[in-house]
Structure 1
Amino acid sequence: MAAADGIPPSMAGGFGPGEVQKSDLGLSAEMLDLSTSALEISRLGLEESETLSPSTITFSNCRSASEDEEPSECASEDEKEFSEHHSGYSAVGCDEHGKLKMRRKSSKTLSTKFMRKLGMKSSSSSLATAYGVNDGKFKEQLEDQYAEIWTKELLPNWSRKQGCSKVRSLCFKGIPSQIRGQVWCSLLGNKLNITADLFQVLCEQAEKSREAYEEEKEHIENADGDVGGFGGKAEELLLKAISTHKMILLDLPRTYPELEIFRNENSPYRQHLLEVLEAFVCFRPEVGYSQGMSFLAALLLLYMEPADAFMAFTNILTSSCFVNFYRMKMPEVKMYMYAHEKFFKEELPSLYSHFKKLGIHPEMYMVKWIMCLFCQLLPLDCTCRIWDFFFLDGDVAIFRTGLGILKLLEKDLLKMSFEQIAYQLSHLPPNIDEDELMRSVRSVQAVSNRKLKDLLKEASSVYRKQGSKNENP
């Protein structure tokens, strides 16, 4: 992830005064009046009188499939409609059981049009809000222009450009939805060297394991006492595999229940979600599967091919603070809570005192917020904006976002009782505005990479001393 010790105060307050001429964005005179900073626009690569046409974005790792390939005759009208509804896939026939077979089209991600059907706003809404305009056509044009900056200037020169201020500024404005997956992958990197071939091998391994324990589970469930021929360890592992598979299957329809693509058993997205989760269990059996993981994987699948989503998912969960939380490693989890509490006290002293007085501890809300990376708490649009920030800054983004949420809700929280706060922090307001949230997050000054490292080191020393006292009373 791109390294940065927090955001300079000059960036936190938005743009300075100034006007942008319509020609700055290559727009006609009929477009709405704009009020923003011409200097900022030029920094982002849109020089005066420069016209940028929307780019055609292609990806080398997209599966090949004809855009106008027709479904076979055995596909019903309903199945064809389902295929069209899930833009990005086409029906190509039925398998031996009569189930519809789907193939991903060459488009890397869900289309902007389909995003709207899902109830998600295009990132152009956020970009346009930053410039104070509301015209729908302009929003789309603006998003296309930002996408072109990413695809023509930044991503092709990533080794030189990844740390520049333009990347940071564009990430905070909202990454265009059509290239969000590619940008996320670039920001994250691939330290584990996960490949598409490895993902395929793990998927095949998971499928074989599933078939094996499907055959054996009835034998285990009906057996009295020890299961002959297994041995204690093998039996334990098999039972764990069955339990994990059941847990994943139960969580699939609960993942973003408002999205049909994960509820529908015939949806290719649901199948890919199962594959990513089971592949991860095969890759990191000591971590296994925990509730909440499905939300992380599902959000990645909205923007990436399954192999890329697995790469990102695996790198996220095996680096950063996540592995400690999913394995519930102590005192590591306590160390992160210690850091949050210190940041909280510095950034929001009044609310911190109120929480202390009522007995509201960080473990009551921050653990869940971190483990789901805010997926189960915020609207999808807000979550995607937070993830843009997370892929840019890593762990520090999590703690800044946590404080940003508390800061946004501070006035209301200060009036609440213990029970009201406990409920509010686990059921954030569904109408949180993504731009307001991002402004609140960017205004947080207490958190930086350096401070986080120092506090974790300090917390480690504190808990080591406590451990020594407990061992030698």
Structure 2
Amino acid sequence: MGVSGAQAQMDRNPGYYRHLLQGERDDSLEEAIRTDMNRTFPDNVRFRKGSEPCLQRTLYNVLLAYGHHNRGVGYCQGMNFIAGYLILVTKSEEESFWLLDALVGRILPDYYSPSMLGLKTDQEVLGELVRTKLPAVAALMDSHGLLWTLVVSRWFICLFVDVLPMETVLRIWDCLFNEGSKIIFRVALTLIKQHQALILEATSVPDICEKFKEITRGSFVTECHTFMQKIFSEPGSLSRAGIARLRERCRARLLAQG
């Protein structure tokens, strides 16, 4: 809470969260959130209807409040998994709201906006980083005309929730709140580099997609301490200035494409 700035925001705005929940009804927002309730951690008993307490109501409240707070975003698929994870970790509805705001509003701007321009930009940035650091993988993707969004979109939009083991995700999120979004590139590049030989065995688009699912499973990602050491050594140098330049170039390209 402290490192993310969420605690300071909550302290500066007492009663604000409850005020948001009592705001004017927005039928389209409420329906969009309701649609995803049963899709959020369906295997977790605490998110099932009939459980006591049922975290679906808590999740609904957090997402509804955020939709009122940030009308430019409202609600976007993927936010349900992030908010749900925050609820499981903090066990606090209001703290989860402010942490969600830190992620969506400050750390990952435009990831969850209607255009998802920030998300699309960072997927393109990953592609450029792979082209530089892992050219054989980039060549494989190019040879099949495969867009990066088809194989890594869930990594980015769900911030590795339901992709990597929970303990590993929590360690990644600690870094995300501390160091910002650059950590997402470190994780993605490490997964790809560590399994480059496996990926290069693929001979078709479905095969490539399956390989990218395979690389998120197994002992490499479950051995959390070793994995976290790897993400700071395997990708090599990733300067903030370099990432900023790549983002600027990729964003301009996406905007030009319309």
Q: TM-score range by the shorter chain?
A: 0.7 to 0.9
**Counterpart in the other structure of 2:145:** 359
Return the offset for 1:279: 0.5
Return the offset for 1:435: 3.6
**Counterpart in the other structure of 2:93:** 306
Return the offset for 1:291: 1.6
Paired AA for residue 383 in structure 1 = V
Paired AA for residue 355 in structure 1 = M
Q: Does 1:452 align with 2:239?
A: no
Q: Which of 162, 168, 188 is 2:4 aligned to?
A: 188
**Counterpart in the other structure of 2:157:** 371
Paired AA for residue 154 in structure 2 = K
Paired AA for residue 359 in structure 1 = G
**Counterpart in the other structure of 2:123:** 337
SS at match of 1:302: helix
**Counterpart in the other structure of 2:70:** 284
Q: Aligned runs of 1:182-221 on 2, under 5 Å?
A: 185-190=1-6, 193-194=9-10, 195-205=13-23, 209=25
SS at match of 1:365: helix
Taking structure 1 as reference, are residues 340 and 369 closer, same or farther at Cα in structure 2, changes over 3 Å only? same
Return the offset for 1:247: 3.2
**Is the Cα–Cα contact under 8 Å of residues 405 and 440 in structure 1 kept in the other structure?**
no
Distance 2:96 2:40 in 1: 16
SS at match of 1:318: helix
Q: Does 1:258 align with 2:76?
A: no
**Counterpart in the other structure of 1:242:** 27
Deviations 1:238-267 (A, max 9, x none): xxx334323323322322222211114442
Q: Does 1:423 align with 2:210?
A: yes
Distance 2:60 2:209 in 1: 32
Taking structure 1 as reference, are residues 409 and 291 closer, same or farther at Cα in structure 2, changes over 3 Å only? same
Return the offset for 1:196: 4.3
Taking structure 1 as reference, are residues 459 and 191 closer, same or farther at Cα in structure 2, changes over 3 Å only? farther
Taking structure 1 as reference, are residues 462 and 250 closer, same or farther at Cα in structure 2, changes over 3 Å only? closer
Q: Which runs of 5+ in 1 are unaligned?
A: 1-184, 210-240
RMSD of aligned residue pairs (Cα, Å): 2.7
Distance 1:427 1:245 in 2: 36
Paired AA for residue 409 in structure 1 = H
Larger radius of gyration: 1
Distance 1:326 1:371 in 2: 11
Give 1 or 2: higher helix fraction.
2
Distance 1:367 1:321 in 2: 14
Distance 1:253 1:453 in 2: 38
**Is the Cα–Cα contact under 8 Å of residues 72 and 113 in structure 2 kept in the other structure?**
no
Range moving further from structure 2, 417-426 or 286-295: 417-426
Q: Which of 392, 408, 430 is 2:178 aligned to?
A: 392
SS at match of 2:186: helix
Return the offset for 1:461: 5.3
Taking structure 1 as reference, are residues 356 and 288 closer, same or farther at Cα in structure 2, changes over 3 Å only? same
**Is the Cα–Cα contact under 8 Å of residues 125 and 250 in structure 2 kept in the other structure?**
yes
Distance 1:386 1:424 in 2: 22
Return the offset for 1:317: 0.7
Deviations 1:191-244 (A, max 9, x none): 993434111111222xx62xxxxxxxxxxxxxxxxxxxxxxxxxxxxxxx3343
Paired AA for residue 248 in structure 1 = I
Q: Does 1:405 align with 2:198?
A: no
Return the offset for 1:282: 1.2
**Counterpart in the other structure of 1:103:** none
**Counterpart in the other structure of 2:135:** 349
**Counterpart in the other structure of 2:103:** 316
Identity %: 20
Q: Which runs of 4+ in 1 moved over 4 A?
A: 426-429, 460-464
Distance 1:303 1:336 in 2: 26
Taking structure 1 as reference, are residues 420 and 440 closer, same or farther at Cα in structure 2, changes over 3 Å only? farther
**Is the Cα–Cα contact under 8 Å of residues 126 and 185 in structure 2 kept in the other structure?**
yes
**Is the Cα–Cα contact under 8 Å of residues 276 and 297 in structure 1 kept in the other structure?**
yes
SS at match of 1:193: helix
Q: Which runs of 5+ in 2 are unaligned?
A: none
**Is the Cα–Cα contact under 8 Å of residues 378 and 430 in structure 1 kept in the other structure?**
yes
Taking structure 1 as reference, are residues 365 and 372 closer, same or farther at Cα in structure 2, changes over 3 Å only? same
SS at match of 2:228: helix
Distance 2:176 2:125 in 1: 18
Return the offset for 1:329: 4.5
Paired AA for residue 459 in structure 1 = C
**Is the Cα–Cα contact under 8 Å of residues 322 and 370 in structure 1 kept in the other structure?**
no
Taking structure 1 as reference, are residues 414 and 367 closer, same or farther at Cα in structure 2, changes over 3 Å only? same
Deviations 1:285-318 (A, max 9, x none): 2311122111101111122221111011012111
Distance 1:285 1:425 in 2: 34
**Is the Cα–Cα contact under 8 Å of residues 119 and 156 in structure 2 kept in the other structure?**
no
Distance 1:261 1:360 in 2: 38
**Is the Cα–Cα contact under 8 Å of residues 7 and 98 in structure 2 kept in the other structure?**
no
Distance 2:44 2:163 in 1: 15
TM-score (norm 1): 0.48
**Is the Cα–Cα contact under 8 Å of residues 252 and 263 in structure 1 kept in the other structure?**
no
